[in-house]
Amino acid sequence: MAEAEAVPAVRELTYVRAINEAVRLVLAEQSTAFVAGEDVAGAGSVFGYYAGLLKEFGPERVFDTPISEEGIVGLGVGAAATGLRPVIDIMFMDFMGECMDEITNQMAKMRYMFGGAATLPITLLTMSGAGMNMAAQHSQSLEAWLCHLPGLKVVMPATPYDAKGLIIAAARDDNPVIVALNKMSLRFKGEVPEAAYEVPIGAANIVRRGENFTIVTYSRMVHEALQAAQELAELGVDAEVIDLRSLQPLDSETVLASVRKTHRAMVVHEAVRFGGLGGEIAAQIQEHAFDDLDAPVGRVGAPFSPVPFSPQLEKSYVPNAAKIVAEARRLLGA
């Protein structure tokens, strides 16, 4: 990271480096921020995105915790309520179940239960997604649980740019914000400004303009959707691709405006289709843009099983561009 002068104000960074830079800037700008989690300090996280931070900020601001997810989130809640701005790490999103009570009953509700007297500026980073043959307990996308909990914000960046900007926005937000990263995206590259900038929480991004089909998605599926859009273009379908970026709050307006233009829509996520956030979004679309719709809102998500280990099975399990295209064709009757 000591590449100071020579670097242009905007340069290509990987997703993992963008995360690293965001957290570094947060620690630099907020004297009450600290990073805590399993193997975040000595190892810089098993994904490497805290590399160098222990050295730069010292062991009171970047420290390893025991393998105690409930304790870790509790530490964050208690520290935040009493004036600090914790950045908490839960290594895999699959481990949410270990700390779901702290998240649900403390972090999300404390402010409300206290009549507004407590403020919980917590940023919780975690890692979602399949595709690395890590099997049923290290590949899940459980954001649907979190989006159902009033009091939390939830963001899922698809690009290095958004990863950095959303983490900074999360850390500056006075509410608990869950930042669910994606492990298959760690090596993705993209342009990232050097400065500390925010990607606003609650604002979707139209990553491809299109006229007659809307694909609403987030996290790694944005890239699959963009690829699908290209294939659809060859079929004469001009798809608009919306990267939600924030799931809670959800930028329904951007989604609805697009659907009102295109008259057809589909939601794509890596999470299990049944009960996933796609249901909420599809329900909102048909509710608010009923008369604009020329076809049902489609959904692509993982089928109804745990994530299988075997690479071939996993490949047929995880949503991808081909499945998006297939579902689009089905919807369009093409």
Partner 1 sequence: MTAQPDDATLLDIHQRMTRIRIFETEAGKLMEDGKIPGALHLYVGQEAVAAGVMAHLSNADWITSTHRGHGHLIAKGGEFGRMFAELFGRSDGYCKGKGGSMHISNMELGMLGANGIVGAGPPIAVGAAFSCRFKQTRNVAVTFFGDGASNEGSFHEAANMAALYKLPIVFVCENNGYGEYTPQANHQAVVDVADRAPGYGMPGAVVDGMDAVAVYEAAGVALERARDGAGPTLLECKTYRFFDHVGVRGMGLSYRTDEELAEWQQRDPIVLFEQRLAELGVLDPGAALAVREAVAAQVQAGIEFAEASPMPDPAVLLDDVYA
Binding site for ligand TPP (CB under 6 A): 38, 67, 69, 91, 95, 98
Nearer to ligand TPP, 137 or 310 (CB): 137
Q: Which residues form the interface with its own copies (CB under 8 A)?
A: 94-105, 108-109, 112-113, 135-137, 142, 144-145, 147-151, 248, 250, 271-272, 274-284, 286-288, 290, 293, 295-299, 304-306, 308-309
Contacts of 236 (CB under 8 A, 6+ apart): none
Supply the minimum distance, in Å, between the C-beta of residue 162 and its own copies. 22
Q: 130 near 139, Cβ under 8 Å?
A: yes
Helix (H) or strand (E) holding 257: helix 252-262
Supply the minimum distance, in Å, between the C-beta of residue 77 and ligand TPP. 15
- Residues between 119 and 138 that touch partner 1 (CB under 8 A): 119-121, 132-138
Determine which residue in the list 11, 30, 48, 263 makes contact with partner 1, applying CB under 8 A. 48
CB burial string 194-211: b at 16+ within 10 A, e below = eebeebebbebbebbebe
DSSP character string of 64-95 = E--S-HHHHHHHHHHHHHTT-EEEEEES-GGG
DSSP character string of 134-202 = --TTSS---HHHHHTSTT-EEE---SHHHHHHHHHHHHHSSS-EEEEEEGGGTT-EEEEESS---PPTT
Nearer to partner 1, 15 or 34 (CB): 34
Nearer to partner 1, 114 or 187 (CB): 114
Two tokens, residue 298: 């489609």
Is 148 catalytic? The answer is no
Q: Pairing relation of β-strands 239-243 and 213-217?
A: parallel
Determine which residue in the list 11, 30, 78, 206 makes contact with partner 1, applying CB under 8 A. 78
Candidates 2-10, 76-84, 237-245, 322-330: pick the segment binding partner 1 (CB under 8 A).
76-84
- Cα 142 to Cα 91: distance, rounded to the nearest angstrom: 14
Nearer to partner 1, 32 or 230 (CB): 32
Catalytic pick from 138, 148, 263, 269? 138
Smallest CA-to-CA distance from 94 within 156, 131, 142, 48 is with 142
Supply the minimum distance, in Å, between the C-beta of residue 105 and partner 1. 5
Candidates 114-122, 183-191, 237-245, 263-271: pick the segment binding partner 1 (CB under 8 A).
114-122
The binder of 77, among its own copies, ligand TPP, partner 1, none, by C-beta within 5 to 8 A per type, is partner 1
Q: 213 near 265, Cβ under 8 Å?
A: yes
- Cα 15 to Cα 183: distance, rounded to the nearest angstrom: 10
* Phi, psi for residue 265 in degrees, rounded to 5: -150, 160
Nearer to ligand TPP, 63 or 197 (CB): 63
- Cα 161 to Cα 274: distance, rounded to the nearest angstrom: 30
Supply the minimum distance, in Å, between the C-beta of residue 297 and ligand TPP. 36
Determine which residue in the list 310, 322, 330, 334 makes contact with partner 1, applying CB under 8 A. 310
Supply the minimum distance, in Å, between the C-beta of residue 214 and partner 1. 28
Nearer to partner 1, 128 or 159 (CB): 128
Q: Residue count at the site for partner 1 (CB under 8 A)?
A: 75
- Cα 257 to Cα 285: distance, rounded to the nearest angstrom: 10
Q: Which residues are catalytic?
A: 138
